[in-house]
Amino acid sequence: MIQKTPVMRICISCRKTFDRKYLLKITKDHKQGIMLQKGMGRSAYICKSKKCYSDSKIKKKLQKALKTFLEPEFIDIFEEEITSYDDYPNKGI
Ligand SMILES: [Zn+2]
């Protein structure tokens, strides 16, 4: 049986390593600007633990990681997106 090696990425908030499928990917797309879970360009990953996505500094951290300015509306969209997942592997941390 061939096992696929999971792609590991680091959460920009807690700096822990997770399988990429458990992370929300935020990409600064070359053409379309900031995108969630898609797009090509500089990307940052954040895990789905409440502690990380509701961090008051998360916007700053994302802006730093993506080297861009994020619109205030982005955080609303981002929170809505991340809270819509129910597969929190690290729930309760
Ligand atoms: Zn995290």
Beta strand extents in the chain (DSSP E only): 8-10, 17-19, 23-29, 33-36, 41-47
Distance 46 CA to ligand 1 centre (A): 6
Q: Is residue 88 part of a domain?
A: no
- pTM attached to this predicted model: 0.83
How many other C-beta atoms lie within 10 A of the C-beta of residue 86?
Answer: 7
Distance 67 CA to ligand 1 centre (A): 19
Distance 52 CA to ligand 1 centre (A): 5
CATH number at residue 56: 3.30.1230.10
Distance 50 CA to ligand 1 centre (A): 8
The Cα 92–Cα 88 span in angstroms is 9
Query: What domain range is 54 assigned to?
Result: 8-83
Q: Is residue 38 part of a domain?
A: yes
| Residue ranges near ligand 1 (ion) with Cβ within 5 Å | 11, 13-14, 47, 52
pLDDT in tens, 32-73: 999 999 999 999 999 988 899 989 999 999 999 999 999 989
Q: Is residue 92 part of a domain?
A: no
Q: What percent of the chain has pLDDT over 90?
A: 63
Distance 40 CA to ligand 1 centre (A): 22
Distance 25 CA to ligand 1 centre (A): 12
